[in-house]
Amino acid sequence: MRERTNGNLTGAFLPVAIFLVLLTIFRLWAMAHIELNSDEAYYWLWSRVPSAGYYDHPPMIAWWIWLSGNLLGPTELGVRLLPILSVLVTSVAVYGITVELYDDVALAKRAAIWFNAMLLVSLEAIFATPDAPSIMLWALAVWALARLRRTGNPHLWLVIGILAGAGCVAKYTNFFLGPGILLWLLLDARAARWRFSPWVLLGGLAAVAVFLPVLVWNAEHGWMSFAKQFGRIADHHLVLSSLFQFLAGQFGLMNPVIAIFADLSVWYFWRRTTDGSSDPFIFLIALTVPMLAYLVIHSVHDRVHPNWPGPAYPTLAIAAATAAKMGSGSIHLRRLQRWVAPVGIGLSSLVLFYFAMPLGSTFPWTSPADTVLGWRDLTAAVEEKAGQSGAAWIATTDYGLTGELAFYLRGRLQVQSIVDRQRYSFDNPDSALLDKPALLVVRTQEGHLDQYLKCFGTAGPVEALNRHAGDRVIDGYSVILVSGAAADLFSRGCQS
């Protein structure tokens, strides 16, 4: 392996770094002008009360939002700043992993660009969800592992443990990195020296130490977060349609061209005649196989959410880039490579630009973009109704609506959900609100309105509000002035 210097690597990466920085600046601008989706608004609620755990997920995304919110205030960019920057950090990690494994700067640059051309990255990871820190910390841990593989520096096991533990503080999906590391130790000849090393145990202890606050929080809260997430591992009937949906969805979200090259990378690996036990591809595949295998198994029993494989995307980008290099002798594959950036970065940037402009708020067709449209106007309409009716607070029945109204009301009115109160264990609402009239806002399609009204002594007439994208109605809401709330409404919730 030829000698490398930091100066050579930095100089070679500089053009790509400049491009990625400019792309990041564009993403910051665009995401500052796009309304929050419901999950982001819900996580913003978390950030107001930093904790070591929450009902749905571990706490990293709440800590990120708390930090950036204190810098930029309660704005869309204040919520999304660190997730957007995390994609840039992960891109650098992808470059670093590739250099460590293949000692090929050109390949590393392609992998970093291709990572940004993955549609899940360019259109999902820049939103403030647990996926952003999960993907970044997984990639950084893999980078440290790749450097360990090349240099043999045992102290890197502590870095790996800290990063792996922090990844689990971001999302429980990162637990799969542990089995991936064990599989790498077993399969890669370059890892043989570590199979019985105490340094591996020290790295594991470092991971546990970082994750310990989340464990303690769960123990103090009836293991609610573990029960919520690991309760998905339930016995369901065989449903092959979910598998097809999962595979088709990943083909699109990965970027169809990158998905083709990622599949080819497996084919090229099996065709090699040299000893594969020390091939860098073993390293890449071993770390991701446990997670991907679980998701495939899960998909034949139940739906797999499209974002779940996110931590595998950095290594899949590298695998796809290596296949492109190996297939460079084919004119057809060379032509196919040219579509990666236009399809991924070009298309996603056009989408972000459109929805960041005023015209984007009038998008005429139903689409996933409906999750970020019409919230400011709906909140203004709800606030006006509350003022007209004399309501002192807003009662909701959906965590997304709760977060959206709370974020865009900016504290002018208290917003409290009256169902699923276990989601709000971090909050301690003022019980004096229960003695005051409230404006109950319920998504019309949800139903159960009569059941919710039983939790109040009196109720006024039902009025209707809509969330719009221009002239198109996205969703309808029933709005009712209520009073005489049950005394245990904030503790037990409204029992159906």
Which tens digits make up the pLDDT trace of 435-449?
999 999 999 988 789
Q: Which two tokens stand for residue 418?
A: 């009256």
Decide the pairing of beta strands 463-469 and 438-443. Answer: unpaired
Question: Per-residue pLDDT tens for 380-428?
Answer: 999 999 999 999 999 999 999 999 999 999 999 999 999 999 999 888 8
Question: Per-residue pLDDT tens for 154-180?
Answer: 999 999 999 999 999 999 999 999 999
State the pLDDT at residue 386. 96
Residues 59 and 444: their CA atoms lie apart, in Å, by: 32
Question: Per-residue pLDDT tens for 1-53?
Answer: 444 555 566 667 889 999 999 999 999 999 999 999 999 999 999 999 999 99
State the pLDDT at residue 405. 98
CB 369 within 8 A of CB 357: no
C-beta neighbour count of 220 within 10 angstroms: 12
State the pLDDT at residue 448. 85
> What's at 287, amino acid-wise?
L
State the pLDDT at residue 242. 83
Q: Which two tokens stand for residue 151?
A: 């240099």
Q: Which two tokens stand for residue 394?
A: 């807003």
Share of the chain above pLDDT 90, in %: 83
How large is the average pLDDT for residues 242-263?
93
Name 81's Cβ contacts closer than 8 Å, sequence gap at least 6.
28, 68, 71, 72
The DSSP element (H or E) to which 119 belongs, if any, is helix 119-123
Residues 321 and 315: their CA atoms lie apart, in Å, by: 10
Sign of CA dihedral 119, 124, 125, 127: positive
State the pLDDT at residue 1. 42
Q: Kindly write down the DSSP assignment for every residue of 275-305, as one continuous string.
A: -GGG-HHHHHHHHHHHHHHHHHHHHTTSPPP
Q: Which two tokens stand for residue 183?
A: 């599989």
Q: Please name every residue paired with 415 in a beta bridge, in sequence order, or none if there are none.
A: 394
The answer, yes or no, to whether residue 286 has pLDDT greater than 70, is yes
State the pLDDT at residue 230. 80
**Positions of E strands within 65-211:** none
- Radius of gyration, alpha carbons of the chain: 25
Whether pTM > 0.85 for this model: the answer is yes
Judged on CB neighbours under 10 Å (0-12, 13-18, 19+), 345 is: buried
pLDDT band at 267 (very low <50, low <70, confident <90, very high): confident
Q: What is the mean pLDDT of the chain?
A: 93
Judged on CB neighbours under 10 Å (0-12, 13-18, 19+), 491 is: exposed
State the pLDDT at residue 330. 86
Residues 197 and 489: their CA atoms lie apart, in Å, by: 55
3-state secondary structure of 496: coil
Residues 114 and 320: their CA atoms lie apart, in Å, by: 8
Name 443's Cβ contacts closer than 8 Å, sequence gap at least 6.
397, 398, 401, 475, 476, 477, 478
Of 97-101, 138-142, 269-273, the one with minimum mean pLDDT is: 269-273
Question: Per-residue pLDDT tens for 104-116?
Answer: 999 999 999 999 9
State the pLDDT at residue 273. 52
How large is the average pLDDT for residues 272-298?
86
Q: Which two tokens stand for residue 56?
A: 């749905």
pLDDT band at 271 (very low <50, low <70, confident <90, very high): confident
State the pLDDT at residue 232. 63
State the pLDDT at residue 235. 53
pLDDT band at 325 (very low <50, low <70, confident <90, very high): very high
> What's at 124, amino acid-wise?
E
C-beta neighbour count of 253 within 10 angstroms: 21
Cα dihedral 397, 402, 405, 409 in deg (nearest 10)? 120
Residues 28 and 304: their CA atoms lie apart, in Å, by: 29
pLDDT band at 145 (very low <50, low <70, confident <90, very high): very high
Question: Per-residue pLDDT tens for 343-383?
Answer: 899 999 999 999 999 999 999 999 999 999 999 999 999 99
Cα dist from 129 to 56, 124, 287, whole Å: 12, 9, 23
Q: Please name every residue paired with 466 in a beta bridge, in sequence order, or none if there are none.
A: 476
The DSSP element (H or E) to which 10 belongs, if any, is helix 6-32
Counting every residue written for the chain, the total comes to 496
3-state secondary structure of 481: strand
Residues 361 and 373: their CA atoms lie apart, in Å, by: 6
State the pLDDT at residue 348. 96
Residues 403 and 405: their CA atoms lie apart, in Å, by: 6
Question: Per-residue pLDDT tens for 48-95?
Answer: 999 999 999 999 999 999 999 999 999 999 999 999 999 999 999 999
